[in-house]
Amino acid sequence: MSLLQVPSVNLSHYTHGTETQQHHFVSTIGEAFSTIGFVALSGHYLDKQLSENLYSAVKQFFALPKEVKIKYEIQGLAGQRGYTSFGKETAKGQKVADLKEFWHFGQYYDPDSIYPPNIEVYEVPEFNLYGELVYKALENTALELLRALSEYLALPKDYFDPFITGGNSILRPIHYPPVLENQHKAVRAAAHGDINLITLLMGAHGKGLQVQRLDGEWIDAIAAPDELMINVGDMLSRHTNNRLKSTIHRVVNPEQSQNQSRYSIPFFMHPKMTMPLNVLEHCISEEAPKLFEDITAGAFLDERLRELGLLK
């Protein structure tokens, strides 16, 4: 597979295609996630109108006065629900905070009440409505992707199902404000790998998101209007002994648009906190010795939140 660009795949070829199309989908995403770590995905469960509705509500929310937004920044939750104000998150290994503010929607299926409740925004009620609908559409899309990856890894197709049904996933609308003159040394999101299993990004249609290839070169990751950008997170990379690659990526400040706001909405697919991230036995060999110590998803998440400055 060429590493010159992010490959495009169609999820409907896996969910409703012929056996040949299904096998091709599984091998294509498996190879992509084993090399560049990203794919652009069409045929998913998020329709265009719903996406547009949420983006409209997101823009309305972030346009609210600072004193209104700040009342939704809930202390003691490490940013896991509600609003996180500008300059609070710093990428692992970086000294300058990212130029962004964001919101977190969390799990809606929580029969055991183990997660913090979602926070309602009363000034923009459609923000709550469309946030929940998009969360569920992307969660269902991620479930199918992990089933395909299970087949690629020679695991039972439903291997991930019990870990991610009711898992600790997050939908994060982000606002990157215009870059001020004294902020040019920072970037909107510094180079980083994601914490979770897989990430589904809405609306990566313009320049800004960049992926670092295995040879160290940075390339623009731009999806078509009907595509989501999908990447492997550190949890999945760890679980597969780095067979599937959590690729370093960043959001830069393109000169032609740094005086404009940018919005993006990633969905971070997390498993239940109790999921063991122990390296899969069949991903260990003489050529690929075990790289990571045993740990649960919850312990790994806490470790990373401390590195990001969100958890003390």
CB-based burial of residue 15 (10 Å sphere; 0-12 exposed, 13-18 middle, 19+ buried)? middle
In a domain, 52, yes or no: yes
In a domain, 3, yes or no: no
φ, ψ of residue 106 to 5 degrees: the values are: -120, -170
In a domain, 273, yes or no: yes
Question: Which residues, at least 6 apart from 12, have a Cβ–Cβ distance to it below 8 Å?
Answer: 42, 43
CB 230 within 8 A of CB 138: no
Average pLDDT per consecutive 10 residues, the chain (312 residues; last block may be shorter): 71 98 97 91 95 95 96 88 81 60 95 93 97 98 98 97 96 85 52 88 70 78 86 96 89 63 91 97 94 96 81 68
* pLDDT the model gives residue 3: 45
CATH assignment of the domain containing 204: 2.60.120.330
202, β-bridge pairs: 265
CB 78 within 8 A of CB 305: yes
In a domain, 78, yes or no: yes
In a domain, 1, yes or no: no
In a domain, 205, yes or no: yes
Of the candidates 52, 67, 71, the one whose C-alpha atom is nearest the C-alpha of residue 121 is: 71
Q: Could you tell me the residue range of the domain that residue 206 belongs to?
A: 8-308
Q: How far is 229 from 97, CA to CA, in rounded Å?
A: 24
In a domain, 2, yes or no: no
Q: Could you tell me the pTM of the whole model?
A: 0.89
φ, ψ of residue 111 to 5 degrees: the values are: -60, -25
Domain count within the chain: 1
In a domain, 213, yes or no: yes
Token pair recorded at residue 173: 């609308």
